[in-house]
Amino acid sequence: MNRSVPIFKFHAKDPANRHMGFIEFNNEKFWIYDLNKFYGELGYTHEMQLDGVMPDEYVWDTFVRHKATRNCQSCYQLHIISFLFKYSAVFYQKHGHEGGDWLASEAEKRAACRVEHCRDRK
């Protein structure tokens, strides 16, 4: 089984289409038609919205900000891959098989997340 998992990158806005985000890996691009669903998958809640926390702010604070000292990339990557599995038919069609391995591999890493201040696992 190939356990090497590509790095998935999230973009909140496509320069050509500002209403859609996308996920990119290995030079492939997968559209996010409903950004709210994506943020929900990452753990963003309606309560946070009521508290005035912007979704991009949540993503930054939870998964990106302290990258050097509290790298939570496996938590982040797992959510992104799960999202693609659930909502991208194109992804499922192209990568459904190996995607299962990627998901399992990231889930393992996430379960072993020892990042002291991991906000995603609190």
Which residue in 59, 75, 80, 81 binds Zn ion (CB under 5 A)? 75
**72 belongs to the binding site for Zn ion (CB under 5 A):** yes
**118 belongs to the binding site for Zn ion (CB under 5 A):** yes
Cα distance between residue 80 and residue 58, in whole Å: 15
**59 belongs to the binding site for Zn ion (CB under 5 A):** no
**23 belongs to the binding site for Zn ion (CB under 5 A):** no
Cα distance between residue 95 and residue 81, in whole Å: 11
**64 belongs to the binding site for Zn ion (CB under 5 A):** no
14 CA to centre of own chain: 16
Cα distance between residue 48 and residue 81, in whole Å: 23
User: Where do contacts with Zn ion occur on this chain (CB under 5 A)?
Assistant: 72, 75, 113, 115, 118, 120-121
